[in-house]
Structure 1
Amino acid sequence: MKVPVPDELLAADRLGTVHFVGIGGAGLSGIARIMLARGIPVSGSDAKESRTLDALRTLGATCHVGHDAAHVGAADTVVVSTAVRESNPEVVEARARGLRLLPRSAALESVMQGRRVVAVAGTHGKTTTTSLLTVALQHCGADPSFAIGGELNETGSNAHDGTGELFVAEADESDGAFLVYSPHAALVTNVEADHLDNYGTEEAYRAAFDEFVDRVDPDGFLVVVSDDPGADHLGDVATSRGRAVVRVGEGPGADVRAEDLRFVGATSTFTVVDGGERLGEVRLQIPGRHYVLDAVAALACGLRLGFGFAELAAGLGSFSGTRRRMELKGEVGQVRVYDSYAHHPNEIRGDLQAARSLAGDGRVVVAFQPHMVSRTRIFGHDMGVALGAADEVVVMDVYVAREEPEPGVSGALVADAVPLAAEHVVFEPSWSAVAAHLVERARPGDVVLTLGAGDVTLLGPEVLDLLGEDS
């Protein structure tokens, strides 16, 4: 459901007791963590038990499993996830009592008030780039607050209430949330059509990014990855509106450029040139060109915030990843199993390039779960084409998420478009049968990769167990 943003956005310490409907999700759990750190009373509910709920309970939150009107308790403010339906009994109760209802975006804005905000936006790469920037700033001695749509491997957390003035936030465009924030600086990784279930047209989606430019402080700056045409165009829009723009990438038009890219196994190395000056080398522990672009964008942002290259580069080099972003789940019988959140054609393409580097002389075996009916209908063919970069492909059925099923829209749309011989592609609508398909295809030296934004992430441990039985 979509909850309107109120005209007056209160600071977090003025919201009273706060109840989160969908508190276990990546977005709301991070906000709840920050409020708890500030001593704000927090409660919440979620559909199922999770380690996130356990962690929040440890921090002092009252967390319920299941939804019931009684869970609202003595709350003054109710924050609602976009995945929650209008008929949710806690939402109905909050409305009946006239309580303050907030969407995720307004709740995040409430905890960011009074800080110097750096907002990271873009169609792809937001979580990784926000994470890279956060870890790099921490390595410089700063203690920024942060809210990320994934958990840092270093801390196991998706949010932190820092002592410094900076607040690094992943700015989600999927439901227009990023248009609520007023950042000092912003970073945009790329702009290409997505979330058309919300925006309707590609033009409307791109127009939202144009509007986002106006949210950036005129005295701040915008970093764009100019290798991406959409982000490069946004840089032109920002310049025309008087914003300072820093372009990054491999291209000759970049102000901060990555040169001499080298990919060996799980590492990526590149040299940084800023305005013609060679600053030095960065060595990442994560593979793939798209992660290099994320890293150079984070580096450029850190430099413009006044931090030193050596410290930023060391921080980037220490970054070990984020959960569900090319995350190693384990290895059995010389088969490594990774998991990643990629669900858009270009994300799939980037992660398969990274998987190819990881595999070396081995093969890449992929299970892909399309995410959302509308996205599969619009991008299903392109998803299939992108999957052609693998050696073996198992396509699952659509993870429906917040939409209703549509006749004729299934994972078969994706599988039919994969440009590999028929014996190397299978559409498997039964979730429970997918792990066996992967194990049947995997050989020693291969990389198995589970891709998608849904419950495909649960497959990795099952694959490892089956590999263990076969070894």
Structure 2
Amino acid sequence: MAPGLPSAMERPHFIGIGGAGMSGIAKILAQRGAEVAGSDAKESETAEALRALGVTVHIGHAAGHLADDASCVVVSSAIRKDNPELARAAELGIPVVHRSDALAALMDGLRPIAVAGTHGKTTTTSMLAVSLTALGRTPSYAIGGDLDAPGSNALHGEGEIFVAEADESDRSFHKYAPEVAIVLNVELDHHANYASMEEIYESFETFAGRIVPGGTLVVNADHEGARELTRRVAGKVRTVTYGEAADADVRVLSVVPQGLKSEVTVVMDGAELTFTVSVPGRHYAHNAVAALAAGVALGVPAAELAPALAAYTGVKRRLQLKGEAAGVQVIDSYAHHPTEMTADLEAMRAAGGDARILVVFQPHLFSRTQELGKEMGEALALADASVVLDIYPAREDPIPGVTSELIIEAARGAGADVTAVHDKDEVPAVVAGMTKPGDLVLTMGAGDVTDLGPRILERLVK
């Protein structure tokens, strides 16, 4: 049975309640009986899904949205200091709680699995949530993306397991105390918060050090950054490694593409095990193996969990098919880091056979583009043609001299066919003019490029 409601969370107010992480915590609190309220910049399907649970959602940010009797105000690192609701909380003396502390409070008393890594967190967390649910384990979970419908990113379950995506971007994953932690990869990213790889390693070491006594760190044996982490924590925490490396504890023998699925064979505790992953791509197959190793570390039999992993059929924005028109399939990808971009393009190449692949890429963050623009451009060279948009700023202010031209120059230097489009409204017509029946179009990036998929489909039928 899940624990009760923390007293400080009885009447929480969320600033930015529509965000992926924030909405999940709000949903679980509402399902546990809290009187939840919050605000967001604009209407969304997520806001409507929260209202259906009895949550009060205000649109826009104003001091008057914060009730005088709120028990706390929940914020993420994206909330600016001059937010009027935050100022009002200070006037009223209402405690301000970071979303990571709120999530940590929800996990207290349960058996948490925390999924960390520079990329792959949402997919792996989702695989665990779906497979454990299919087995009747009724886990609670908090994911950074929707499984199949708005608001499906979180659930309060009656079981003892809590699966959570653990965000390293602002070091908030230091707040959790998991029984099992997964580290999928360790790379330099989030340049506004980390100045070097050494800082990244130190941050992941701190996360691994938060694992409860007797717990387990599941870590990638194929990724050099993850292997370095394994070396650094040796003797401090029980580790289980996975991957294709010869010394992996859970060794991947093969990943065989089968259309939009893969058949995966691993050796685990001396025995071979073959199971199906219902999404394409070697990196997704490896995420499934990480989920398998974590579930087994928590006591779920491998023979039960492996086939249950096939129940996962994807999460929104992770190679999600948006539709088909005029013989062209449009697929949405959240990839915004070069490693993710490369992995998704390779997965589409393997699944699509001889199909031409066209990418509509929107860079995410000025700081990331400044540091990784060259690598982003090189990744785009894996596509047959690309359209590159202006940088999506998210929470950042512009950096002088940093534009999407850095990516375009690198892509062309790598031999890529790239078109720059500065007006997003022009993209559907541009793409329609580039495509022919049988092509695959990927809208790619962590910003609002996802909105272009339906518009491209509409333009293709004209």
TM-score by length of 2: 0.96
Q: 2:79 aligns with which of 84, 89, 94?
A: 84
Q: 2:140 aligns with which of 140, 145, 149?
A: 145
Contact persistence 1:139–1:312 (CA under 8 A): no
Contact persistence 2:46–2:151 (CA under 8 A): no
Contact persistence 1:359–1:445 (CA under 8 A): no
Name which of structure 1's ranges 331-340 and 121-130 shifts more when overlaid on structure 2: 331-340
Q: Distance in 2 between matches of 1:97 and 1:129?
A: 40
Q: 1:266 aligns with which of 230, 235, 260?
A: 260
Matched, 1:245 2:239: yes
Q: Which residue of 2 aligns with 1:6?
A: none
- CA apart distance, 1:435: 2.0
In the TM superposition, what whole-angstrom CA distance separates every residue of 1:120-143 from its partner, at most 9, and x where no partner exists?
A: 000010000001111121222201
Name which of structure 1's ranges 102-111 and 299-308 shifts more when overlaid on structure 2: 299-308
In the TM superposition, what whole-angstrom CA distance separates every residue of 1:158-188 from its partner, at most 9, and x where no partner exists?
A: 0011111110000000011100111111011
Q: Distance in 2 between matches of 1:126 and 1:303?
A: 18
Matched, 1:163 2:158: yes
Q: Distance in 1 between matches of 2:149 and 2:270?
A: 34
Q: Distance in 2 between matches of 1:397 and 1:437?
A: 15
Matched, 1:365 2:358: yes
Fraction of identical pairs, as percent: 49
**One-letter code of the match for 2:147?**
L
Contact persistence 1:345–1:386 (CA under 8 A): yes
Q: Which residue of 2 aligns with 1:30?
A: 24
Contact persistence 1:33–1:56 (CA under 8 A): yes
In the TM superposition, what whole-angstrom CA distance separates every residue of 1:248-286 from its partner, at most 9, and x where no partner exists?
A: 00111111112121113211111121133112x111121
Matched, 1:296 2:289: yes
Q: Distance in 2 between matches of 1:433 and 1:202?
A: 39
Contact persistence 1:13–1:40 (CA under 8 A): no
Q: Distance in 2 between matches of 1:467 and 1:133?
A: 37
- CA apart distance, 1:466: 0.5
In the TM superposition, what whole-angstrom CA distance separates every residue of 1:96-142 from its partner, at most 9, and x where no partner exists?
A: 11111011111111211111111000001000000111112122220
Paired residue secondary structure (1:240): coil
Contact persistence 1:193–1:206 (CA under 8 A): no
Matched, 1:425 2:418: yes
Name which of structure 1's ranges 141-150 and 302-311 shifts more when overlaid on structure 2: 302-311
Contact persistence 1:187–1:223 (CA under 8 A): yes
Q: Which residue of 2 aligns with 1:185?
A: 180
Distance of aligned partners of 1:227 and 1:426 in 2 relative to their CA distance in 1, 3 Å threshold? same
Q: Which residue of 2 aligns with 1:46?
A: 40
Q: Which residue of 2 aligns with 1:215?
A: 210
Q: Which residue of 2 aligns with 1:61?
A: 55
Paired residue secondary structure (2:192): helix
Distance of aligned partners of 1:353 and 1:423 in 2 relative to their CA distance in 1, 3 Å threshold? closer
Q: 1:133 aligns with which of 128, 131, 138?
A: 128
Q: Distance in 2 between matches of 1:284 and 1:334?
A: 26
- CA apart distance, 1:439: 1.7
Name which of structure 1's ranges 310-319 and 398-407 shifts more when overlaid on structure 2: 310-319
- In structure 2, stretches of 5+ residues that fail to align are none
Matched, 1:382 2:388: no
Contact persistence 2:49–2:151 (CA under 8 A): no
Q: 1:439 aligns with which of 432, 439, 459?
A: 432
- CA apart distance, 1:155: 8.6
Q: Distance in 2 between matches of 1:351 and 1:26?
A: 21
Q: Which residue of 2 aligns with 1:305?
A: 298
Q: Distance in 1 between matches of 2:351 and 2:272?
A: 29
Contact persistence 1:196–1:205 (CA under 8 A): no
Q: Distance in 2 between matches of 1:237 and 1:387?
A: 34
Paired residue secondary structure (1:190): coil
In the TM superposition, what whole-angstrom CA distance separates every residue of 1:437-464 from its partner, at most 9, and x where no partner exists?
A: 2221111111100110000010100000
Contact persistence 1:154–1:320 (CA under 8 A): no
Q: Distance in 2 between matches of 1:59 and 1:154?
A: 14
Task: Name the count of aligned residue pairs.
Answer: 458
Runs of 4+ in 1 over 6 A off after TM superposition: 420-423
Q: Distance in 2 between matches of 1:79 and 1:234?
A: 32
Q: Which residue of 2 aligns with 1:93?
A: 88
Q: Distance in 2 between matches of 1:274 and 1:398?
A: 44
Q: Distance in 2 between matches of 1:417 and 1:162?
A: 47
**One-letter code of the match for 1:311?**
E
Q: Distance in 1 between matches of 2:400 and 2:338?
A: 22
- CA apart distance, 1:421: 8.2
Name which of structure 1's ranges 154-163 and 110-119 shifts more when overlaid on structure 2: 154-163
Paired residue secondary structure (1:141): coil
- In structure 1, stretches of 5+ residues that fail to align are 1-9
In the TM superposition, what whole-angstrom CA distance separates every residue of 1:292-350 from its partner, at most 9, and x where no partner exists?
A: 11000001111222222232122211211001111110011221110011100000000
In the TM superposition, what whole-angstrom CA distance separates every residue of 1:361-392 from its partner, at most 9, and x where no partner exists?
A: 11100011110000000000110001110001
